[in-house]
Every structure is written in structure tokens, then in C-alpha cells.
Homo-oligomer: A and B are copies of this chain.
Amino acid sequence: MNADQRFKALGLVLPPPPQPIGVYKPFLQIGNQVLVSGHGTFKPDGTLIYGRIGKDLDIEEGKIAARHVGLAIISTLIDNLGSLDRIERVVKVLGMVNCVPDFEKHPYIINGCSELFAEIWGEEKGIGVRSAVGMGSLPDNIPVEIEAAFLLKA
């Protein structure tokens, strides 16, 4: 199966591609590299999951929220590229977690997105470098924001 087929087999519902809430583009292609802006925790109906992990959401809800961010990124990719199969590999993920100051499990949270990418593009090409860190705050008090870079096929 290719990436589109693997994604379809997961039976997941995508949110609409997020529209900019400021002066930026959600997606940019530079040569064979694709960059996506920081994406939020969009549910399939296009509304956001809100709250701080460790206060409003527990760790499992946080991981699910990160998977929703991954789905929002997938929606942006499909909207701009037409097919997930045009992507050669995941290059980089910056996972930003809105959590209480004593939270320590940021990697577990961001796995919610990274596992989705690995399911779509596989264990080798679906996994890139990553940082998963705790922010002081995030826009609209969303629990997770993720930006990412991908390489396109030649």
C-alpha cells in the first residue's frame, strides 16, 4: 500500500484544512521541501480542543489532542499536494505542549502525532527528528501545537 492507501485504511476523518489565524501561510513548498506552520488541535468538525495538559486535560487526552494536530497537518498536506504519496519522508517535527510547569511527559504527548505519521509513511520514512517541549502558553489555550517539515519525492 502507498501512503494514501494506508491513510484510507486507517478510517480516520480529517478536519477541514485549517485557515490562517494571522499573517502566515499554513503550507509552503521550497524546492523539494515542504514546511507546514504550527497547527492546532482541530477536531473533524473544525472546532478546536482547548485546555492545558495536567490541569484541563490528562495525559491520554493530551496524546489524542496531538493526534488531532497530526490529522490537521495531513489535511493541509492533502489540500496543497493532492496526495500523501508525493511525500518522500517526514524530516522534522517540533511538538509544543501547553502543560502545567511540572509536566514531564512531552514525548508521550507528541507521539500522538508521530505515531500517526509512522502509520501513514512507515517506520522509516514516517519518522524524522523531533523536539517535544513545554511552552508557557499556546494560542487560544490549545493543548498542543506542532510544526513540521517534509521531503517530497523527486
**Interface presence of A26 (CB below 8 A):** yes
| Interface magnitude class on chain A | 35 or more
Partner of A128, one of B28, B97, B129, B131: B28
Identical copies in the complex:
3
Partner of A107, one of B131, B132, B135, B139: B139
Interface 1/0s, chain A 112-152, versus B by CB < 8 A?
A: 00110010000000011111111111111100010100010
CB-based contact A133/B108 at 8 Å: no
Partner of A135, one of B37, B130, B135: B135
**Interface presence of A12 (CB below 8 A):** no
CB-based contact B25/A129 at 8 Å: yes
**Interface presence of A10 (CB below 8 A):** no
Given A102-B141, A133-B96, residue A127 in contact with residue B35 (CB < 8 A): no
CB of A26 to closest CB in B, whole Å: 7
Residue positions of A touching B, CB distance < 8 A: 21-28, 30, 35-38, 91-94, 96-108, 110-111, 114-115, 118, 127-141, 145, 147, 151
Give the 10 A-B residue pairs with the shortest CB-CB distance, closest first. A134-B137, A38-B131, A22-B107, A24-B130, A23-B114, A37-B129, A136-B136, A134-B136, A35-B129, A106-B139
28 contacts between A and B (CB under 8 A): A22-B107, A22-B130, A22-B132, A23-B110, A23-B111, A23-B114, A24-B114, A24-B129, A25-B129, A25-B130, A28-B91, A28-B92, A30-B91, A35-B128, A37-B129, A37-B130, A37-B131, A38-B131, A38-B133, A101-B137, A102-B141, A104-B139, A104-B141, A106-B137, A133-B137, A134-B135, A135-B136, A136-B137
